[in-house]
Amino acid sequence: MAKSLHILADLYNCNGEAKYLSNVKVIKEKVLEMIRRSGFTVVDSRFHKFAPGTNATDGGITGVIVVSESHAAIHTWPEKGFVNIDIFFCSYSRDNSKKTEKIFKKLTDLYKPRKMRRRDVWRD
């Protein structure tokens, strides 16, 4: 069995386009496209748009994509310019770590954080 990379990351002070923090349709289409283009099989996805809070210009988003190889999840807080990412694409037959890194890089390019805290977990 190949080792699998599981990336957990917090993105702070995101400077990307605001629509990726608060427009559920835009981010859903973007993330699903990234995953499909990487060759993963999307089983299902669920995205939820939260109502704006007291200090928020627009509510955040939680999105979870279930793929046959595992999952990807994204949570946004537009009022804080904060994004939380959880990506894990496992496989018994091949190493998906490069594809996982590529999707993570595309997401960080999209959000343009000034600061990031990332934790890599290597799973058997």
Is residue 46 within 8 Å of residue 72, measured between CB atoms? no
Determine the CATH number of domain 4-123: 3.60.90.10
Cα-Cα-Cα-Cα dihedral sign, residues 103, 80, 78, 74: positive
pLDDT value at position 57? 59
Q: Which of 82, 29, 85 is nearest to 56 (CA)?
A: 82
- Give the start-to-end residue ranges of the domains of the chain: 4-123
pLDDT value at position 51? 82
* Cα 37 from chain centroid (whole Å): 15
Q: Which residues does the annotation mark as catalytic?
A: 70, 75, 90
Per-residue pLDDT tens listing for the chain (124 residues):
567 899 999 999 999 999 999 999 999 999 999 999 999 999 999 999 988 765 555 789 999 999 998 999 999 999 899 999 999 998 777 888 999 999 999 999 999 999 999 999 998 7
d(CA 110, CA 27): 10
pLDDT value at position 69? 87
